[in-house]
Amino acid sequence: MTIRYDGKVAIVTGAGQGLGRSHAIELAKRGAKVVINDLGGAKDGTGGSSEAARSVVAEIEALGGEAIANGANVAKYAEVEAMVKQAMDQWGRVDILVNNAGILRDKSFAKGSLEDFQLVLDVHLMGTVNCTKACWDIMREQEYGRIVVTTSSSGLYGNFGQSNYGSAKMGVIGLMNTLVQEGAKYNIRVNALAPTAGTRMTEGLIDEKAFELLTPETVTPAVLYLVGEDSPNRTILCAGAGSFAVTRIVESDSVWLSPEEQTPEGIAAHWDEISSTAGEKALQAGFEQSFKMVGKAVEGLGIKLD
């Protein structure tokens, strides 16, 4: 079955080049009307021009699609609200939001400034929050929404010199996990993309021959899948060079220690058991951890529950 988006309206942030451009063009090819959002700044967030966004609109129109350009800074909520209003005025709905916009201010934690740290959080994490917040009530009222947040292996696993970026990229996973629960009854699904692509953000970091395999076009199919009507929910889909994988956050089974052993020494003595991968599970909500641990305690203490 072909996945299409006829009658759907999509907003793609940071869509003037790289991954965002690829996502936007392919969404348009499959029938979506697309807002091409791009501040037009350099990869460190400085500067700004709407030329890149207008160029992508022209590409889409040349293919017979519909698109409009918008230069909102995703870190500024008033500008994001105006962008969403532009989409509503033009097409009357917003069905798909791809949070892709980002900047880099790479430095080791010792050398990096708090100002740079805050700026990266403002763009990646609060930019995702701002765009999602501006679309949320619309999606609730129309009882349909597909949202993608963009995470990164730097957040999921760490990357030297990217404490600011990694913090923001793990932050959007926490946002996703809760929005999935709050959006469920309104048919709003939220997923995360963890892309590996040869964009200006990764240029110079990877061997040239390998870099050439990491095209944005090999990542975009993951986004197209995540924003389809039959998309999954609460999934971290990794993509790069034509390969796809799913990241899961799992928790070990839990080991109850007797009151006498509930000490740091007791934890040390049982560490192999506590950290064992046997029986580990991907929990679906925070309360599941509480239920699991209380259940182990009840069992260990021999408490009879009504």
pLDDT at 42: 59
Q: How confident is the model at residue 208 (pLDDT cuts 50, 70, 90)?
A: confident
CATH superfamily of 9-247: NAD(P)-binding Rossmann-like Domain (3.40.50.720)
pLDDT on residue 201: 56
Contact 37, 219 (CB under 8 A): no
Q: Which residues are catalytic?
A: 165
The SS3 of residue 107 is: strand
Question: Does the pLDDT at position 169 exceed 60?
Answer: yes
Work out the pLDDT band at 207, boundaries 50, 70, 90.
Answer: confident
Residue 57 has pLDDT above 60, yes or no: yes
In this predicted structure, what is the pLDDT of residue 45?
Answer: 53
Write down the pLDDT at residue 198.
62
Strands 243-247, 236-240: pairing is antiparallel
Mean pLDDT across the stretch 203-212?
Answer: 74
Using one digit for the tens of pLDDT, what is the confidence trace for 5-52? 999 999 999 999 999 999 999 999 999 999 999 987 556 555 555 789
Q: How confident is the model at residue 211 (pLDDT cuts 50, 70, 90)?
A: confident
Give the tokens for residue 73. Answer: 């800074």
Report the half-sphere exposure of 26 (CA within 13 A, side-chain side). Answer: 20
Listed in order, the ranges of the chain carrying CATH 3.40.50.720 are 9-247
Q: In this predicted model, what pLDDT tens digit does every residue of 253-300 receive, in sequence order?
A: 999 999 999 999 999 999 999 999 999 999 999 999 999 999 999 999
Sign of CA dihedral 20, 41, 65, 212: negative
What's residue 74's pLDDT?
97
Average pLDDT of the segment spanning 79-101: 98
Structural contact between residues 138 and 81, judged by C-beta atoms closer than 8 angstroms: no
Token pair 């950290």 in the structure block, residue: 275
